[in-house]
Amino acid sequence: MSNIDRRDFLKLVGAGSVGAGAGFMLAESIKHPVEYLIPYVVPPEDFSHGIATWYNSVCSMCPAGCGITVRTREGRAKKIEGNPSHPVNQGRLCALGQAGLQVLYNPDRLTAPMERTGDRGSGSFAQITWEDGLTRTAEHLASLHKNGQGNRVAFLSTGVRGHFASLLELFMEALGSDRLLHYDFAHPHTLYAANKRFFGEESLPYYDLQNTRFLLSFGADYLGRWISPVHHGLGFGHSRQGRATGRLRTVQIEPRMSISGAAADQWIPARPGTEGHLALGLAHHIVAEGGYAGDDRENWVAALRPYSVSRVADQTGVAPDTITRLADAFADTQPSLAIGGGAAGNCSNGVATLVAVNALNYLVGNLGKRGGLLFNPTPAFGSSSHPRQASYRMLSELAEDARNGQIEVLIINGANPVFNLPSAAGFEQAMAEIPFIVSLSSFLDETTAMADLILPSHTYLESWGDDSPEPGMGFAVGAISQPVVSPLYNTRASGDIILGLAQQMDLGEALPWDSMEDFLKARWREIYERGAPADKLNDFESFWRSILQAGVWGEKTQNSASTFALDPNLVDNIGVEAAVFSGDSEVYPFVLHPYLSNAFYDGRGANLPWMQELPDPLTSVVYGSWVEMNPLTAKKLGLSEGDLVRVESPHGEITAPVFVYPGIMPDVIAMPIGQGHAEFGRYAKDRGVNPISILAPLMDPDSGSLAWGGTRVKIEATGRQAKLLKIGGESRQLGREIIQTSSNREGANEHAQINSIPISVVSS
Amino acid sequence: MDKLQYADVNRDVVRSLVETGPRYYTALFIAIGVTLACFFFPWFYQLYYGIGAAGMNHPAVWGTYLASFIFWIGLSHSGTLLSCVLHLTNSEWRKAMYRSAEAMTLFSLMVAATMVLVHVGRPWFVHWTMPYPNQMELWPNFRSPLLFDVMAVATYLTGSSIFIYMGAIPDFAAVRDRTSGWRRHMYVLLSLGWRGTDKQWHRLGWAYTFLAVLIIPLAVSVHSIVSWDFAMSIVPALHQTIFAPYFVVGAIYSGTAGIVTVMFVLRKYMNFEQYITRVHFDNLGKLMLVLSLIWTYINILEVFTGWYSGTSTELEAMKYKMFGYYAPLYWEMIAFCAVAPLLLISKRFRTSFVPMLILSVAVNIGMYTERFLIVTTSLSRQYLPDAWGLYVPSLVEVSILIGSLALFTTLFLIFVKIFPSVSIYEVKETMATPNRRPSEEGVPQWQPTS
Amino acid sequence: MNFFDRFTKGWQKYRKPGYYEEFDYAWTMTIDLDRCTGCSACVTACQAENNIPIVGEKAFAKGRQMQWIRIERYWEGEYPNAKLSFIPMLCQQCDAAPCETVCPVSATYHNQDGLNTQIYNRCIGTRACAVYCPYEVRYFNYNDHHWDAPLDQQLNPDVTVREKGVMEKCTFCIQRIRTAKDEAKDDGRRRVRDGDVQPACVQTCPTEALVFGDRKDPQSKVSKKLKDPRAYRVLEELNTLPSVVYLKKVDADG
Ligand SMILES: Nc1nc2c(c(=O)[nH]1)N[C@H]1C(S)=C(S)[C@@H](COP(=O)(O)OP(=O)(O)OC[C@H]3O[C@@H](n4cnc5c(=O)[nH]c(N)nc54)[C@H](O)[C@@H]3O)O[C@H]1N2
Ligand code: SF4
Ligand code: SF4
Ligand code: SF4
Ligand code: SF4
Ligand code: SF4
């Protein structure tokens, strides 16, 4: 080595360092940075796990109002689970409820108040302070209020209940405005209207799924997104395989098989808009066969005369013997229950259809009966969302007023009408006429993008509130929604924003509370005072704490036995008219059947990555929209899966790939609602299409609700292809007996040796 | 070989080692370039990004990398195995070709081993498959066919390396005595002090034969074990008892074809026309014909047993293989490996160099396809139809496949400059004994000139 | 005992999962197909509990979804008599798990509770276990996954985040089992009581199609479910002895 001189040495060192450096960089760039969570599979010997804290609250992802309990660690929310004590969901949650954490931790949340800097809808905003934002809003409102023009303020909220709803009412009242509207696309207006007409009460009854023996659903996807899916799921599971009184049989009538249709023992496709006729056809058969013996039997016979089985069979496309067998089963299996909604309630004859469904229940004596349809008491506190729920007609009126310059200020709280209304409604254009729009949303959705000022609110997991579920549980029940983590950003609770505005506008007299929490406690103090002395805890504070801990509160006032008398006029006018469809059937041969998506509900879940990547239960498609059509239709049109087609209605067109779906009528085209957002964060934006946008501005005249099942479309191939993202490979079992079935309905005594499940380990 | 003298053999072989023309450098440069560009860079990208750079997915979790692994292992088969068999049966024609054949074994095994590294998700931990004492007292799982595989390949690699090295010691010595400079230093080391004494010859012969006997079962077991990676699973169309012989036959088949290709190239470009002759091609052709018939038979059996099972799982897997997405490849394989080799029946075909080259390449393309189909068509059609999928190789995978060929070529090119690629002493054994009668110039002394 | 018997016996022992004579617990899940509606709440619950990444649109297109429990759907018949059935598919926690025998580094093995565990730190990513698993419930990390901030704040600290190159799958929510065992120990109980552990999917299932418990406890809910004549195991013929038992869907025609 002695002949290495200094230069060689330096060269070698240099080369070595470069080599080592390169090697190091190579190694470093391959390595995963850090693994920072502690694996539990084999935990370290000395590891002691941290203790989680659980907070009870209320799910706000849909109007069902399930109770939740949130697991937190080190101040972060980790997992949402159902609150086992809450009677609605009894510890269970749906997929969307599970995903609530991604609302809280969504990367696209609005983090501070902002004002608009670009054109309306351009989405360019600049940050401002809360003082600034509140003052500017309060000034606008105050000047109108002083001039007695309070009614020029409109407030459009997503459906809210409980004391926050009361707070909004107080605020708008103090302002002198009656333009307080709630808007949920899927609110069952027709169901309320039908109940009002039939029972005289504009409320939802309790459907006693867990005790019924025969469930006949007209279009109501009760296991999907209809009213209270988790509660229905509980009832369904229990009545299917959890009770001693025999297995529930379900029949689903709808043009396109929904989740409930798949779960049903029998799925019966009936032409869209003829569900009411079918109900009356069943009624006709039941009455004719002597299944009804009431005093007004003759009136029924007369009223139902036009609904003979053969005629109804023609109208609905359901075979006559199917109708008679169904009618017999419905009348003979007691208690039975007929429910209606979804597609059946979304045609121009929606109210009449649902009245007909109620009539079925009436005729076989399912009303006020265990296992049938039970009536609820009025909500225990606060207000219900329904009286304020805006129908399509009401929103059109609001838009008209806006166009006529009667609306000066519009406050938006969570509602997203720009997305959730047909383009034909022209709501977006009407909004453009409103001088000042404030949004309290947590996200930059399509409607918020139109705002002049954004005062972003907390998510439900950061704010105070309470809720009384609707439909109730047969007794008054409520739950407190409490913050489970401290707010992530410079946002405020909607209630606090309202109270802050009230303070700045000197409405302190009507709204004297400092914060939503104060307001809530003040109102709950009243409930506490109201309680029977025997039930009372020592003081209000312990009462309050106990409710927070339990997460739910119920009054012992059981619903009294129902006294129900049918309006005799009703019987004579029981008929269902043919549904009106928008679009000439020659030009537009298919009926468009939009349905609420399991993951996104009415579109509000589309910004949650878990929901985007959740395979649709029926098609397994993720990340996008699709057009479902019958295999025969697809064949006729020469289309196959993934072919991009233009779906054109008289009111617009959208393009989406075909999904060939065996469970849909040949002249019906179905599309899920929820995708197709133009805004709403990185996960939702510009993904898929929004079928609501091409719906006709068609209403059910009785309720004023949008007849969103009443649009006809035509299908044109674009010649292009899109890859439908889905997990399903081959959807047939090929005789492999993966899903095995048992023909024994009660599940007894069938090859009784199942000792083949060994307790110990493999024996050889 | 009448005109060929012992001295000519020495001269020709040493020339192949020391005289390096621009053609060689061009070839080497291209091979190294392609190796870097198509193998190492994409691999690095894959290490950085994750196996996701390849096309594998759920349920097709295995892909081209593993197909290449089996292919290279297969290619490795004919070399050493054939050489051993022929050595033990004293086949004269073996002697000119066995060295390059064995080298092929060695390098395909090396490339196969790198394919494993390319294939696994965390190659930086691949040493965990080795049973070495460690602080955590963790051992590999000796029940795993994959572990058998690691052991088998490692053993085969060791055995083949020793075998080829041992057989080359006298040649190293011969070259040592004819070279100078750094080469001489190198061959001094490599020849381990070989002087050609009777004792040395005797020991070499004994040890060589001993190893040959040892390696034959080893080679057979290696590809049986490789087949078990698949056959020990319960994947429809993979869970087959015939797989071990199927793989062994396939391996020898593709290996034999590989030898034909390599011999053609050596003969042509290293001027070994006098050593590698029609006899070699004729004999190898016969061997290939036999192998192709056995291979075809097993393929027919595979289809027959699949059909005979009557189960949806087997039938669907078979249907997919023969008529599914990759059906063109299946029929290409049948054409190349079962139909085309029937030409070998003709002696004229067997003794024509270019047609033999074309056929040998076609057979190996077909055999690569076979491996590709085994991996990709079975995993895509398993028990639960809802989980069926499709595997399409990505650009990275295709590139690495091309790069692995270049890697093999690079290694081979380096080899031919270090190892005498034709065995000097064994070729001499096949030659007529030199005239030992005294001549005017005196008794010819066969000794190194230097 | 002659040599042959000794050998056979030894081999049998060696063949036993984890070489155990008997498990401490035998965790079992029953899935009532007559209850399951395919609602997929279990899928999201599992994702939330187990730090399962969103793979993104691109990776999904390549078929690299990661949900540890998935809903498979099978159609039968043609319109108008088309029928659709769902089956939740998760790791069956086989007692004779083919995935275990093939792993060269024992990264997946049987533990004392009869669970098929996956040791991410040990996995070298051969993916052989996924080939050997007939239920296709093993999911491979084809690349590192990323949570857009602050979505990472939701990550469960009791569950690790897996890096590229390792295999993962349903663990029966082992972190919950561990916690329940710890708590039982702290309470001075010897065993976990029935109902103390509920995996995330079981916890949320609206129809209570999923039931979880210890089949060594004859009084447990799950043991009772196992006595249902509808009980069967998927691909029973493969003799993998799953710990997930399905209850047949009832086909009440007409
Ligand atoms: N190398 C090195 N050794 C040292 C020292 C040093 O400086 N360097 N310092 C020495 C000194 S001065 C000291 S005091 C000792 C300290 O030595 P240790 O007492 O061992 O201290 P730590 O390692 O800090 O923590 C012990 C364990 O407690 C856990 N833990 C944390 N919070 C809680 C809790 O709320 N409940 C329970 N049950 N567990 C919890 C932690 O996760 C950790 O596993 O080390 C001594 N040894
Ligand atoms: S049904 Fe689902 S989204 Fe609606 S409240 Fe219940 S858990 Fe939340
Ligand atoms: S949550 Fe329950 S009902 Fe819903 S898909 Fe999962 S197992 Fe089925
Ligand atoms: S289901 Fe698959 S992954 Fe789970 S234990 Fe069985 S073989 Fe292994
Ligand atoms: S992927 Fe991991 S767990 Fe699976 S066999 Fe390979 S090393 Fe074992
Ligand atoms: S048991 Fe746990 S890990 Fe397994 S699928 Fe259910 S939630 Fe996921």
pTM of the entire predicted model: 0.89
Question: Rounded to whole angstroms, how far apart are CA atoms A205 and A185?
Answer: 21
Work out how many domains chain C is built from and give that number: 1
- Find the CATH number of the domain harbouring A347: 3.40.228.10
pLDDT bin (cut points 50, 70, 90) of residue B216 is confident
Query: What is the model's pLDDT at position A30?
Result: 66
Tokens encoding B276: 């590698």
Question: Rounded to whole angstroms, how far apart are CA atoms A91 and A86?
Answer: 7
For residues A697 and A710, is the Cβ–Cβ distance under 8 A? no
For residue A450, the distance in angstroms to the closest alpha carbon of chain C comes to 26
Query: What is the model's pLDDT at position A753?
Result: 37
Query: What is the model's pLDDT at position A469?
Result: 87
For residues A712 and A588, is the Cβ–Cβ distance under 8 A? yes
For residues A341 and A188, is the Cβ–Cβ distance under 8 A? yes
Per DSSP, the residues of A28-68 read HHHS-----SPP-SS--TT--PPPPEEEEEE--SSTT--EE
Check pLDDT > 80 for residue C251.
yes
Strands A643-649 and A711-721, bridge-based pairing: antiparallel
Determine contact: B314 vs chain A, CB below 8 A.
no
Check pLDDT > 70 for residue B212.
yes
Return the C-alpha torsion angle A337, A343, A348, A352, nearest 10. Answer: 0
The CA-atom distances, in angstroms, between B259 and each of B160, B194, B254 are 16, 29, 9
Work out how many domains chain B is built from and give that number: 1
Nearest CA in chain B to C134: B383
- Domain end residue (candidates: A374, A398, A415): A374
Query: What is the model's pLDDT at position C86?
Result: 97
For residue A206, give the nearest of A454, A374, A424, A414 by alpha carbon: A374
Query: What is the model's pLDDT at position A41?
Result: 57
For residues B81 and B252, is the Cβ–Cβ distance under 8 A? yes
Helix intervals (H) in B324-394:
327-334, 347-350, 353-379
- Find the CATH number of the domain harbouring A724: 2.40.40.20
Which residue out of C153, C164, C244 would a mutagenesis test of the A interface target, given it has the greatest number of A Cβ atoms within 10 Å? C153
Residue numbers of the domain that contains B253: 6-20+56-129+140-392+417-432
Each residue's pLDDT tens digit, C195-215: 999 999 999 999 999 999 999
Query: What is the model's pLDDT at position B23?
Result: 87
- Residue C109's identity, in one-letter code, is Y
Question: Rounded to whole angstroms, how far apart are CA atoms C162 and A734?
Answer: 36
Question: How many helices and strands in chain B, by DSSP H and E?
Answer: 17, 0
Check pLDDT > 60 for residue B442.
no
Omega before residue B434 within 30° of 0, cis: no
pLDDT bin (cut points 50, 70, 90) of residue C9 is confident
Per the domain annotation, does C114 fall within a domain?
A: yes
- Residue A484's identity, in one-letter code, is V
- Arithmetic mean of pLDDT over chain B: 88
For residues A57 and A461, is the Cβ–Cβ distance under 8 A? yes
For residues B173 and B194, is the Cβ–Cβ distance under 8 A? yes
Each residue's pLDDT tens digit, B277-299: 888 899 999 999 999 999 999 99
- Domain end residue (candidates: A353, A374, A395): A374
Average pLDDT of each block of 10 consecutive residues along chain A (764 residues)? 71 80 72 53 64 93 95 93 93 97 97 93 91 96 93 95 94 95 96 93 90 96 95 94 91 97 96 96 95 90 94 96 96 94 93 96 91 81 88 95 95 96 94 96 95 96 92 80 95 96 92 94 90 73 90 69 74 91 95 96 96 96 96 96 96 96 96 96 96 95 93 96 90 93 60 37 36
Residue C90 Cβ inside 6 Å of ligand 5? The answer reads no
Tokens encoding B412: 């081979």
Chain A residue numbers touching C44 (CB-CB < 8 A): 95-96, 98-99, 610-611, 614
Which residue out of C14, C52, C62 would a mutagenesis test of the B interface target, given it has the greatest number of B Cβ atoms within 10 Å? C62
Query: What is the model's pLDDT at position C94?
Result: 94
Quick one: average pLDDT of B433-438? 56
Mutation choice for ligand 6 from C27, C87, C201, C243, CB with most ligand atoms inside 8 A: C201
Check pLDDT > 50 for residue B197.
yes
Question: Rounded to whole angstroms, how far apart are CA atoms A312 and A103?
Answer: 47
Check pLDDT > 50 for residue B434.
yes
Axis crossing angle, helix A275-288 with helix A320-332, rounded to the nearest 10: 60
pLDDT bin (cut points 50, 70, 90) of residue B433 is low
For residues B350 and B286, is the Cβ–Cβ distance under 8 A? yes
Per the domain annotation, does A317 fall within a domain?
A: yes
Tokens encoding A18: 């470069």
Q: Is the Cβ pair C165, B140 closer than 8 Å?
A: no
Per DSSP, the residues of A727-745 read --S--B-TT--SS-EE--S
Question: Rounded to whole angstroms, how far apart are CA atoms A303 and A349?
Answer: 17
Residue found by looking up tokens 């209809």 in the block: A226
Work out how many domains chain A is built from and give that number: 2
Query: What is the model's pLDDT at position A503?
Result: 93
For residues C27 and C244, is the Cβ–Cβ distance under 8 A? no
Query: What is the model's pLDDT at position B449?
Result: 42
Which of residues 166 through 225 in chain C touch A, CB cutoff 8 A?
A: 171, 174-175, 178-179, 182, 200, 203-209, 215-216
* Count of CB atoms situated within 10 Å of the CB of A750: 14
Of residues A33 and C72, the one with the higher pLDDT is C72
Ligand nearest to the CA of A228: 2
Per the domain annotation, does A398 fall within a domain?
A: no
Per the domain annotation, does A248 fall within a domain?
A: yes
Reduced to 3 states (helix: H, G, I; strand: E, B; else coil), residue A156 is strand
Question: Rounded to whole angstroms, how far apart are CA atoms C170 and C69?
Answer: 7
Residue numbers of the domain that contains C118: 22-247
Tokens encoding A674: 């929820």
Per the domain annotation, does C199 fall within a domain?
A: yes
Residue C76 pairs with which residues in a beta bridge?
C83
Per the domain annotation, does C4 fall within a domain?
A: no
Chain C residue numbers touching B128 (CB-CB < 8 A): 105, 122, 124
Contacts (Cβ under 8 Å, ≥6 apart) of C29: C90, C93, C172, C199, C202, C210, C211, C212, C222, C243, C244, C245
Query: What is the model's pLDDT at position A44?
Result: 63
For residues A152 and A411, is the Cβ–Cβ distance under 8 A? no
Question: Rounded to whole angstroms, how far apart are CA atoms C25 and A468?
Answer: 42
Per the domain annotation, does C47 fall within a domain?
A: yes
Which region among A287-291, B443-447, C135-139 has the lowest average model confidence (pLDDT)?
B443-447
- Domain end residue (candidates: A374, A405, A420): A374
Residue A186 Cβ inside 6 Å of ligand 2? The answer reads no
Residue A498's H or E segment, with its range, is helix A494-504
Strands A436-439 and A180-182, bridge-based pairing: unpaired
Per the domain annotation, does C180 fall within a domain?
A: yes
Of residues A482 and B14, the one with the higher pLDDT is A482
CA of C127 to the centre of ligand 4 (A): 13
Per the domain annotation, does A326 fall within a domain?
A: yes
Backbone angles phi, psi at A149, to 5 degrees: -105, 30
Residue numbers of the domain that contains A743: 590-761
- Find the CATH number of the domain harbouring B269: 1.20.1630.10
For residues C95 and C19, is the Cβ–Cβ distance under 8 A? no
Identify which of C142, C166, C235 has the shortest CB distance to residue B52: C142
Residue A153 pairs with which residues in a beta bridge?
A409
Check pLDDT > 60 for residue B48.
yes
For residue B113, give the nearest of B341, B357, B449, B407 by alpha carbon: B407
The CA-atom distances, in angstroms, between B385 and each of A607, B372, B382, B418 are 31, 21, 7, 54
For residues A734 and C203, is the Cβ–Cβ distance under 8 A? no
